[in-house]
Structure 1
Amino acid sequence: MEQHEVFSTIVQSKNVPNNIAQTAQQLLQTWGCRRNTETEVDLASYAVCALFTASVIHRNEKSQESSQVVGIPTLSDLLDTGNVHIKRFFERMGRLQSDHSFHQSVKPALKATMQKYCVTSALYHKFQQLMKRIFIQDPDSPLASEVASSEVNQGQPNRKHICWTLFLLAKGSLQQAANELVMTLHLLICCIEYTVKLSPAFLLQEPFNSAHYSQETEDAILQALCEEMGCRDDMADVVSVGEACLVPILSAIPRERLNQGLEGLPELEFLQEQYDHIYRQAGDIDERLFLDSSSHLFVQKAPTSEPPSRPDTENEHSSTTAMTPVKRAINSVQSLKSLLSTASDAPSSPLTKYFKNCSQDPSVSINQRVVALKDAYVHHFKRVMGSPSAAVARSRFQIGVRLYYRVMEAMLRREEERLSTKDFSSLLLSDPFHKSLLACALEVVNVTYEYSPNEFSSMPGNASRLLFPWILNVFSLKAYDFGKVLESFVKDEPKLTQEAKKHLQSIETRIVESMAWQATSPLHDLIKTAGTTLHIASPGSISTRTNGLNAPRTTAADMYLSPIRPTPQAPNSSEATPPPTTLTSPLARPPQQPQGVGPYPSPQPSNIPMSPRKTRSVSLNMFLNKVQQLAYSRLDRLCGMLTVSKDLMKFIWTCVEYCVTNKTELLKNRHLDQIVMSCIYAICKVTENELKFKDIVNAYRSLPHAEATTYRNVDIDGTKEDSIIMFYNKVFMPVMKGYILQFQPKNQQTPTASPVPSRSSAVSQASPGFMVGPNLYISPMKESPFKSPHPVKEFSFGSPSQLTPRKRTHYSFGEGPGSSEKLREINERMKQASMDSGSNTRSSTSKRLKFEDEDVSTSSTSQDEIDCPITNGSSSSNGVSSTNGHMTSQSASDEPMSTQPLPPSMQRRVAMMTSDIQASLSPAESDDKK
């Protein structure tokens, strides 16, 4: 079937208005979907995407009145007519968005629809479980179906349908909060409680039966439901949401529309009429279809093949893997509340002592500021989420204030230990510091409550309007000032959840790459005043210890109170060079250091005069250091995908570093990645290794964070935007041409190669490992210092480079610097294990390592490949693929494995593995030689 036939069938079936059909037809032509080069399902998905996009555009242009949206198809209509699954629709739209420009109203609508589907799908799954748990008769059983059919014939519709439709109707009053999992879950609990209260007790299972007769409290059923859901501590929030959203809906139901045969439950027809109006206005998905198990909404998950669990870890395995989106959201909230269980809404006694020890007591100003910011927070919260959310806003602000005081106390305690002083007047009287600290605490609270599942990797993430940068507008903060507190916040509150830490990391990345470079940012004035003074220590001068104990630490006081100090003058020099700056962020991804020597001229001192370096600022140096770390990380990934040599990459990095430290005006109102891509193209062209800009952009598009606006909408002169090619020709080259020409091969004096940024020294970032289970980590393969110049003829636990590619194993046992005596000790122990394996009896060890033979042709990669992003859509934490690393089973003890005896079961496994590999080693090597 041709594309036109598929499109016409959908248009005619749903009587799509001509203006929408014409807009959709133009989109299909723009997308180049006229040829039937794909399957009919894909042809239909293109047609559905075009009609949905056209419908969103026309809805946005109208005033949303009922008479004006009549005839405009909804997404559910299109999916049903085109027989397209919603998952396929989201995947297709995600790809189209990355390849083409869309109307400004389409992206927010698509995000909201995707998030609405994910949230509703997760809630319906939990709703089904609760209904089975509450009512004696399983609503999905044949008997229950007969009862439901009988009830319908008697004018008594199924309670399950009434409860779910009532919830959908009440959810519409939450506005933006309707796509927030935690708040909608609380509303669902209220709707279930209402239904259970109006149901006969003999239909209920325990403990709901007993709660139905309970005379102790009116909230007995609600308490039982919260206990069942594991959110008893959220009772107050549940009640607030119910009073704000459910009670008004119930009060508006006419008395004659209450079904007296079902103890006063509303009539299903009335609820459906009300919801249908909301659904047609929104134009997205009909959430009532979940009740019918719609084939276009339900995701059929194929059974996954998991390795057999051991008896001693079966319960542990099930507890760590069975984490539904609802359970995860509840656990996140409970973790935050547990963290603040001992905190209060007012400063603690130790914190009050710090206030009193100041030369000027800041208590009054801090309290007044908190009150003023609370009013601003609640006001803006209500504007986004609607008036019913005022109580929720006050509750969340209260949690944020507790975290604010807790982290402030930890910061001052660390400052006292570092500086041996108790007077922190300057810091505690700083308005930007307090605003930023409270804003960061509230951001942690918001991201905890705003969790929303996303089942589609091709689509953007959380679409909540309460997350960063929303808080900047609420508190009138600049992104650059807010970014100063992020590092100290993570250091001084190490018990934050991983989701919160990752969110703060993403915020810091956004600030460093673009937001701090906005035209209104104070960064530009600071650079003009202080000068570009960042110096980065050479890699050899940096401690390589991974525990971070020797690394310098920057505190909030350094960031907010660092003056612009004159650079100390060196003897016999008119102007001294500032000492190397090695300050790093615990949130920054540690880049890889380039190696190798190529055919290019040796770097020589540059002829370009450098800017005078007379002053320095700790906060500015710290920020520019982060900029360089991020720029190098992005450059390393792009060069890996473009197969740029390490030697050429050194020149490109030198150019990028020069832009960041000496030509910061190029970054004003622009994105750091735009500078990186321009430098790649310029250096490759001038060194006669020319790359097409198209290839660079295509490689950039495959990065996980890439957005089309980065290379399509680049600021040209402050008033006009154009493509990155126009930026390169009109802005970048006129500024950088003289410097770039120095990299020509015929030039005998090229600019001095810039050192790479230092690795992050934080404990959490010392090794980019990814925890996949208790005491089990995945991390990139490291080159062992124990490398033999001769090929290994027999099996040993040596370096991965000593094994043939066919037989390389991905297990590393405590690999690290050591002596040859330790290696001999390990080899002797392995030999002893081989001799004693026959006499060993079966051991009942509760923990043991698993040896699994992997196909090295698919899992063995070099370090360069590991550092590159995954382009097939699958990724893992820290950008490390589980197939590109080696796994290390690590015990709770930090002692090296060589000092601990091997358990008998492991000795047997090692002996068996040794004999097998020795038997097959010769053929493998012969294959390799061939």
Structure 2
Amino acid sequence: MTDINGVTNTPFDVVKPALDILDTSFGKIFERLDLPPDIQNGALQAYREFKINGPEDAQLWLCCAIYSELQQARMKEMLSRAVAARAKRKNSGDQQQEYWSKSSQCNSWNMSLSHLLRCFNIGINVFLQKMKHWNMLAHHSDTFKKRIENLQRRLSIDKLLLRHYKNVFQQLYLKPDASKEEDLLEYQAIYEFGWLLFLVVRNELPEYAVTNLITSFQLLVCTLELVYVNALEVHQSKIINREFPGIPKDWTEENFDILSLHGYCAIDKIGALIPDLPVSGVVVVRNSFFRKTIMMFFSEQRLVGNHTHMRELIKDGLLEVNLTSLNRNYATFVADINEMDERLFLKFEPQTNPKEKEVAKDAPLKELNSKLWMIEGHKFCEAQRMNLYQLLTHGNGLPPTLPTHIRDAIDKDDANSLTNIQNTLRDMALKFGTAAETTAHLSDEEAKRRFGLSSAIYYKLLDSIIKAELQRKPGLKITKLLVQRTFNATLIACCLELVLHICGQKTLEFPWVLECYQIEAFEFQKIIELVVRHHNGLLSQALIRHLQSVETECLATHIWRRDSQLWQLDKLPHYRNLQDTTESEDKENVPKCVNITHKSVIICMRKFYLLASQRLHDLCKPLGLLGNPMDFSHMWHIVEYSVTAHGSELLRQRHLDQLIICAIYMYGCMAGLRLTFTQILQVYRRQPYMRRSVYREVPMEGAPCDIIAFYNQVYIPLMTFYSQLLKCRLRVRALLQPNQKPAMEHTHRQISPNHNFYLMSETVPVMCDQTCNCTTLIAEATENALSGKKRSYSFNKSSPQHYQPKRPNILRRSTANQ
């Protein structure tokens, strides 16, 4: 396959895996792992070299073989990068030589060890023991063996660290009662945030220092102190332990000055909670490595808050923002270097008394046993238990029928609305039973229990949503909501998706529920926002994150299916037009080119553009394309133009990521960057939202093709005009004086001088359009350059993502991102 420059640039070979000799269970495992052919075939070849006895040992050996192949592929690529870097320094004047290794072909070695073990249902300790035998049989190098030893040592250190983390945390904070749901959720979120921040900070250490016990304890205390002082900024917070000696003396007073916490330090008091740990060493680490790392996180937007004093990480709703950001960053890291996901060690325990722990452990199943929707015969893991526990013990529990006060509020003349709800539930239950039996071989009884639990969640959420709507519009007749079949069907389907996720049925994973009921993704993503906004503590953080990931998947691909109602628009709107529409109070002022008649369409498209900007940034950063803000601005406008001008041809039945990948490559060609599809796809594979079908199976007229064929045959012919205009603008930029930077209008407003958190404006860069005279622009720029005049060219971006400052230069742990 060749690109538009005639260069052979195939990042992968479409090879069907050799599964003919494997049994059904192995085939399902490979399907879940989604391994590329080279890794899969290499693992199978190594696996066949040993005589395996017994199915359990066979799975263990195969798991070791796959992990071995992943590690070897990683080490080979790291070596090829080192060789390429040396060659680049040696032949820096040769502009034609391609230093990126074509032989790597975008190897899929970036997979977390936790995901691999989960697919095989193998514990980490069993795996490590078997891996030692595998290393001896396969005669692996000492470097490889050392990695397994370090992994085992790190596992032991993590268990020790986590024990001390829980002990210190319980002395700093007070666990609220189960009745105080908001406080309990805050307590859980801070508990998770502290451990996650520690993991992310520790990963910035050089590899030899990660398994150093003293260093790890010092960083743990630094992290606990930082989170604790930030938690104190939530004045009069009920989860703060007022008996802890490290609390400021006047913190409990109403006139306490929050700004006094900017210089407050509790290192001595918190460090004293860990026996035999010298506090002086903690202070040294805090003032050097820890501070530099946190400041780097602020500059890279991994953390949002007051970067000057390292404060305001928790208050004003920023805790959830920072928690989401760190989770995304950590997920990328563990996949990037095949690490163990150490977040799995962090199991929130709602009770501290051992007897109470045992009661809490059995509570979900005991509660379920008393309900008709008991999912018998299903083995729940700890996370599933906690999800069920929160669902079943919330408030007065889940109602078996529609709440009485809703029935009483319905007018007698509108009694048919109740019948409509019952008919909708009955029809959807029958359809689920039939489809689940075909797809997942669920028995009729199992399907009834799952749908029964879904119905109970539906009644609970419907009650919450109606209450919220009545508060917003006191005169609203609730029958208007109950008679909407689309609303009720999507809400029921959303509740069923939660139940299927809890049960962990692989064959029934999203978007199966959409296909089962033929629900449009555009409608489904609307109901997700309602559920997340009005669940009132019913759903656990894990379930909320699942719904958010489902919403993201809908925005990225499912809302662009062939029959989506978005294609009924005359033209997909620009991001700027959405901003104008949102801020306009007069509907007559909506720009005619937007042609938006429904508020939900505006909200959906704004979410879509925010997602597009975030994912474009995620790919540009590792590729080194954020050094000049104008580069990101141009790539953003390529993406936006491909959506608004050619969305029907480029986005229908396809994925947002495909347009982003093509936009980056096209800009690289136009700007003369030595950027290949292989490089872009290697970065894409490291993203937690990566899907191999995005670049291997792009829908075309006829059979699917790879991303390069799509780029050459579909993308470029449609984007040729815009690419020429982009070339024109880049030539104008090149004619500016070397030290002259194009003036940029203010595109984002900083909330306060102490924050690195911005609100984006709706201004759009002045780009060439169809009336642009490229020759005139170039001639004018040349004349100005020769005469010394300065012409201000605006390159602002309407993208919701702002430019990221350069990171401080500190000693970092070597990863494949470098």
TM-score (norm. length: structure 2): 0.48
For CA contacts below 8 A with separation 6 or more, give which structure has more relative contact order.
Answer: 2
TM-score (norm. length: structure 1): 0.43
